[in-house]
Structure 1
Amino acid sequence: MTEGNFVDYIKIHAASGKGGKGSVHLHREKYIAKGGPDGGDGGRGGHVILRADKNLWTLFHMKFKKHFKAEHGGDGSSGRSTGKDGKDVYIDVPLGTIVRDPETEEIIHEITADGEEIILQEGGKGGRGNWHFKSSTNQTPRYAQPGIDGKDGWFQIELKILADVGLVGFPNAGKSTLLSVLTAAKPKIADYAFTTLKPNLGIVKYRDYKTFVMADIPGIIEGAHEGKGLGHRFLRHIERNSTLLFLIPADSDDIAKEYAVLLNELKQHNPELLDKERLLVVSKSDMLDEELKTELEKEIPKEIPHMFISSVAQMGLVELKDKLWQMLND
């Protein structure tokens, strides 16, 4: 998936259908001069429905269609015939989609299960026909209910990526390279900061045909929770990852400090992120000998498990997959 095709934020306008009118009709038939009221009910207006689809990974299909309008319900007719219900409009979205009120930012819906359906805008009810209103004192009512209007409004649709492992690190830490080596994903890789501007997903193949999903989140910088750099726009993608893999290059000036800054940015964004399983991986370790590794290990915080790898030299990758699988399944 190219970066331009990854869309994780969009605003849409949804309008449900109006309910059909109830019918005002008096039954007339040969030999039955005064058959009484028999006007049918109006049909329900169509709903606008969000539907989860596990085969979608982005909101790109909604980028050029932002207005969704359901059909109006049909009017009732004679013989107590109910009008046809308006056709519902379905909007397919990826798992991990959330719906917010664009004014209050309040979360209205959250979709996490394949096939899950949520009515975004409910269609108006059809009006009742005149046969409902007959009584002993009014045997031929010549009125019926109109249909109830549909609803319309704007919604903010956001995507939080559903992945097993989220890669966390500063720009140019080697996250995209690691993802490209472990999976079939082809993220943009270059020797400058903020090469990755959109999250990338890849499927890691494990032993006995097992797999898990890894996400490369665009680089975090100090102050990201305040909107600096690429800001908190991409921090939300980390919320749905089961395990967080902190990637820090071996040529970093201070591994412990970098880890502390990354951890603080996650904490400031959402303190619950610190409850997730964490693994610290020192990348670009092919430039280290055993003596340097021993020295670096003294800097690494004791409370987090760590590993040394090299994506380019294919060093420690099998052990990394073993460790991640163990963490995901413990």
Structure 2
Amino acid sequence: MTSGAIDLGGTKIEARLFDGAMTTVEMRRVPTPVEEFDSFMTALAGQVGWLIERADAPHLPIGIGLPGLIDPDTGLSFASNVPISGRNVRAALAERLGRDFVLGNDCMSFAYSEAHGGAADGEAGVVGLILGTGLGAGFCLDGRVPRRRNGLAVEIGHVGMPARALSRFGLPEWRCGCGKSGCMERYVSGSGLAALAAHRLGRPATALEIVERAGAGEAAAEAVLTLWAELTAECLLTLQLVLDPDCIVLGGGLSKMPDILARLEPPLAGLVLGRTRPPALRLARHGDSSGARGMALLAREAQGGFSNFAGLSEGGSLA
């Protein structure tokens, strides 16, 4: 069965059309309007319309992955980088296009994708950790995405970095965009790696520059990556202590760092509690398309009358 998905972000709205084997057959990106809701909805509806037109199927199953959360009781969204906070995106889209769509959190759909034919296929407990400009995660248990009271994903980016780590490495509690200080996102994400570089080297550098300079043998850049790996291991430990997954699948831009698993496995092994076994660390099998793939899978299942997303509402909103 052909299916489609939309992957929403702060810079682009990406539409992907998948064939029956869940292989991308067509893809189109448009910029994300971030100033006001109506322009945003026009762009989103345009991408949905493009999928339906390319598939020549008015009832094409389409899943839409949103950043942030969708309240399971009200259907209202909250996100920091797209203009959907306080809005019911599903209802607004249904009003424009005359049909319902399946909506869900993009990190949760990433975890779902990798648990179904991905790097964590067959594992009982799966965390999908996205190391991108920001830091977020999703969770899949026994092949299902569990319902959450507030529609939250695994908001690991806004868990505080342990004081022991900040003290050990002489790091300040950097202010986060969420309003708190010391959030893991400020140290572990791509922007966090850049902040660590600026702090340690005394000059600005992007995450990509640090990785490339370390690969070229620059000792100072390598030291920054070693620090980043120690802090990321604290993030992985927190996920293990709270969720105890069998596997953590890494996605996002930083996951493409050469030898990233070899960087992270030793510091994580040194932090685990007692004799507990650390979760297996793996790289996403479906790369940049994995989140969209997960939403397409969920939309296909919902149209078939069942869902592995606990709490699928009658209207098609995943929470």
**Structure with more of its chain in helix, by fraction:** 2
Higher strand residue share: 1
Which of the five TM-score ranges fits, normalised by the shorter chain?
A: under 0.3
Structure with higher Rg: it is 1
- TM-score for the superposition, normalised by structure 1: 0.25
Which fold has the larger relative contact order, with Cα–Cα distance below 8 Å and residues 6 or more apart in sequence? 2
Using structure 2 for the length normalisation, give the TM-score. 0.25
